[in-house]
Chain A
Amino acid sequence: MAERVVRLPDVGEGIAEAELVEWHVKVGDIVREDAVLGAVMTDKATVEIPSPADGRVTWLAGNVGDLLAIGSDFVRLEVDGESEQAPKTAELASPASSVGAQSPRHAASAPRATANAPPNGMKSQPGAAPLHHAANRPLAAPAVRLRAREAGIDLHQIRGTGPAGRITHDDLDAHLTHGRTGTRATPNPAQTAVTDIKVVGLRRKIAEKMSIASSRIPHITYVEEVDVTSLEELRAKVNGQKRPNKPKLTLLPFLMRAMVRAIAEQPHLNAHFDDEAGIVHQHAGVHVGIATQTPTGLVVPVVRHTEARDIWDCASEVARLAEAARNGNATRDELTGSTITITSLGALGGLATTPIINHPEVAIVGVNRIAIRPHWDGAAFVPRQMMNLSSSFDHRVIDGFDAAQFVQRIKLLLETPAMIFIDS
């Protein structure tokens, strides 16, 4: 037997470290060559690391969420054959050594594995390792443990007041009394459990990004209603008569085209603000990010050069990108580089939202739900299809006046959709 070390390969773009997002194996597993050992994440790409050989896993580099340096040991395998790192020939107990009263095999287990063991994740083998998780065991006398078990109480839930945190009969009584009072007050028992969920992978990226955007950008959010009755009529007609090879038009491509028209008049809204350098990078190309919900979380695929696309092109590109993002095979390029973002929750769009700007952009347009509302036309209330737009702007570089003008321009275009298509 020999040890084979699998190092974390350079997974791209000259990065120095990658985040561990998943283990596919655990210590002791037998793995085949090419079987996936685990996955790491860099920026937005998740890379699976395969095993270079058949063997048994003896060591893992860390826990999910840890940042691992490129080139560091990732997994250690015990493989057949010789290697220069042949393990020390351990003095194995020969047949003539006695099996004593207490097995020392747990004492021999690697301290690291013990230290990293999840607090309550593993069931201890009765007898085999009586004190295996001594550090996490609630401290209580046998009679207290018995009473708790019979009452269905997990002693981990009780804070012991005795020396070294020992749980006393009084602690248990207090817990029982407290629990019963709670049960009387409400038919549903108070749920005191706290589940700790490690924020890793995409969720961590989202969290980091949102923190930066929210802490650094003073947002101004502007909500305006838009009468989309004409637009919806147009959309229904076009969709009813379109050729089968054309994509179904949603509201998004119309909004995208309207934004392109509005940006043409206010180009400073299609920009990145580098606040450290104090420079606004104003982009000529309109790259619209489309906030998209995927099974693993929020991603923002980008429709590039919307200014150069017609309405059909916008529609098919949005559909393609949304599909790729949901399937998790959007490329890095497709997920970066937007200059302005649209966020839409469709039927769940609500009345108004306060969108968070996709840093370092300076504007985000939020689409709320379309609903039929009464509208006073000067003589009578008429039913109209109404929709709110909730848009946020970086108030450091966009004044309220500019923001209002931008949204009003989009409103005008959407309410009179023909204007979207008339050359200025």
Chain B
Amino acid sequence: MTESTCKLLIIGAGPGGYTCAIRAGQLGIDTIIVEAEKPGGTCLNVGCIPSKALIHAAGEYETITGAAEGKSALGISCARPSLDFAKTMAWKDGIVRRLNGGVAGLLKKAGVRLIPGNARFVDGKSIEVETRSGLQMIRAETVVIATGSEPIRIPSLPFGDRVISSTEALALTEIPNRLVVVGGGYIGLELGTAFKKLGAAVTVVEAAPRILPQYDGELSAPVGRRLSALGVTVLTGAKAKALAADGKALAVETASGEQTSLEADKILVTVGRRPATSGFGLETLDLDMIGPFLRIDDRCRTSMRGVFAIGDVTGEPMLAHRAIAQGEMVAEIVAGRRRAWDRVSIPAICFTDPEIVTVGLAPSEASGQGFDVKTDLFPFKANGRALTLEREDGFIRTVARADNHLLLGIQGVGAGIAELSATFSLALEMGARLEDIAMTIHAHPTQSEGFHEAALKSLGHAIHI
């Protein structure tokens, strides 16, 4: 067995882990990062990036198909398009490959040693890695657990053959004729919408009374309307029971209690993700937990000295940019800098059609925390830019304290508004008041004017509504 030592050892090269490693390298810390798969983690390999590639491709195909069917209001017509799905997937894989290489290159440039293999805790300072060339023992002063998360399995619907997780859905070689999506959360709806646009017949089965149950009804409604316009069948209040005996259909109990069966070529199960905390000897450290997650403090320290944890293993929201911010912070703490988690908000984006952006507190959360709030929204149907993009669905909503107008939360739903999350986050992080937004010139014609107008409306003088 070979042995090596380092100051900082990171387990998992997802967005949190590799960011931590690169920053540590920049700070001159002797760093090793261990990863069983390709660098980039769920996000880059089987999550955010490939799904957004697929969503983009599906959107393009749907636009052209619409034109071919004579639905274009712009006067564009064309012959019925064809889709070489293998090529689509190859294009997507190319992006992933390019980013894999990019991460590996950045790690190398920062002087970080990337060791491919499965890590296993021997104790809080020693890790055994199964590499292709044999077992390797690594001893480190500080360890960062960045092992991420994995899709939750339903016992009655084990993955395999027709039953797939998001990972397999992003690696399909052909578009299924009939796709059933179990779970109407953001992952299921993003992929379900994309496959519908690519030509699949899609049915979404959601147990809650409405789709996107984590969001308020105001935000999920435009997405529901669009799903219906696209022809996606949505069964809410419905429970996915089990696979039919022949394995070709899904038994479902509908909201009215009726037992039905949905024939499917593929059944995509997206009922959430759970932290990856087992299978690598973490149990032996006996770290404090909060539910299924590792308990961390405001410096991402676990209950064991010298052991940090970042990303999905540490709790909700399980989002790459949270892990990235934590990873960067931990590297600086390890380098001896004074840092602690003091972020005001973690933005979240749902890449459905239309997209949903949430930053900070929803109106009910703000009221729940005892704030007297002012909530106002500005609809895109009164926004010129939205009309020129043929997408007047959605709105931007501001949540502010009634007493001093401090913004507590900003939410929006609309086509392509993911990019507006930056301005929303910045506003909250800078401690902006409604007046700050009102007194900032928002370029015309853009969707961002909706943000300006929502703030003006809360102040009692919206112009365009």
Contacts and interface: CB of A to CB of B under 8 A. Distances in A.
Contact of B369 (A97, A123, A126, A135): A135
Interface string B202-230: 00011110001111000000000000000
Contacts of B349: 101
Interface in A117-158: 123-128, 130-132, 134-135, 137, 139-142, 145, 149-150, 152
| Most chain B C-beta atoms within 10 Å of own C-beta, residue among A94, A101, A107 | A101
A115 B214 contact: no
B239 A94 contact: yes
A127 B315 contact: yes
Nearest to A99: B272
B345 interface: yes
Contact of B214 (A94, A98, A126, A135): A98
A152 B340 CA distance: 12
B365 A107 contact: yes
Main DSSP-derived SS at the B contact region? loop
A125 B238 CA distance: 34
Interface string B185-213: 11110000000000000000111100011
Contacts of B433: 163-164
A126 B314 contact: yes
A105 interface: yes
Given A97-B271, A101-B186, A130 B316 contact: no
A372 to B, nearest CB: 59
B317 A103 contact: yes
A96 B316 contact: no
Contacts of A93: 207-208, 213
A114 B368 CA distance: 8
B350 A101 contact: yes
A100 interface: yes
Contacts of A297: none
Interface string B147-186: 0000010100000000000000000000000000011111
A172 B333 CA distance: 23
Contacts of B206: 96-98
A166 interface: yes
Contacts of A98: 183-188, 206, 212-214, 270-272
Interface in A145-199: 145, 149-150, 152, 162-166
B431 A131 contact: no
Contacts, number: 172
A152 to B, nearest CB: 7
A106 interface: yes
Interface stretch (B121-129, B254-262, B402-410): B402-410
Contacts of A164: 401, 404-406, 431, 433
B296 interface: yes
Given A107-B362, A127-B322, A152-B338, A99 B370 contact: no
Contacts of B362: 107
A109 B316 CA distance: 15
A14 interface: no
B315 A96 contact: no
Contacts of A378: none
B264 to A, nearest CB: 15
A98 B213 CA distance: 8
A165 to B, nearest CB: 8
Contacts of B65: none
A91 B237 CA distance: 11
A95 B340 CA distance: 35
Contacts of A126: 296-298, 300, 314, 326, 341, 343
Contact of A94 (B207, B358, B401): B207
A130 B314 contact: no
Most buried by B among A125, A132, A137, A166: A125
A400 B43 CA distance: 89
A87 interface: no
Contacts of B296: 125-126
Contact of A134 (B318, B337, B369, B435): B369
Contacts of A102: 214-215, 316-317, 348, 358
A97 B235 CA distance: 12
Nearest to A92: B207
B364 interface: yes
Contacts of A140: 431
B337 A127 contact: no
Nearest to B297: A123
A125 B342 contact: no
B316 A105 contact: yes
A123 B214 contact: no
B290 interface: yes
B127 to A, nearest CB: 24
A100 B215 contact: yes
Nearest to A105: B316
A127 B314 contact: yes
A312 B369 CA distance: 65
B348 A101 contact: yes
A282 B180 CA distance: 93
A149 B273 CA distance: 34
Given A94-B207, A150-B337, A101 B431 contact: no
Contacts of A107: 362, 364-365, 368
A96 B183 contact: yes
A96 B182 contact: yes
B93 interface: no
B346 interface: yes
A98 B212 CA distance: 8
Contact of A95 (B152, B326, B409): B152
A131 B408 contact: yes
Nearest to A124: B298
Contacts of B379: none
Interface of A: 91, 93-107, 109, 111, 114-115, 123-128, 130-132, 134-135, 137, 139-142, 145, 149-150, 152, 162-166
The 9 closest A-B pairs by CB, nearest first: A98-B185, A100-B214, A99-B272, A103-B316, A126-B341, A101-B348, A96-B207, A164-B404, A98-B183
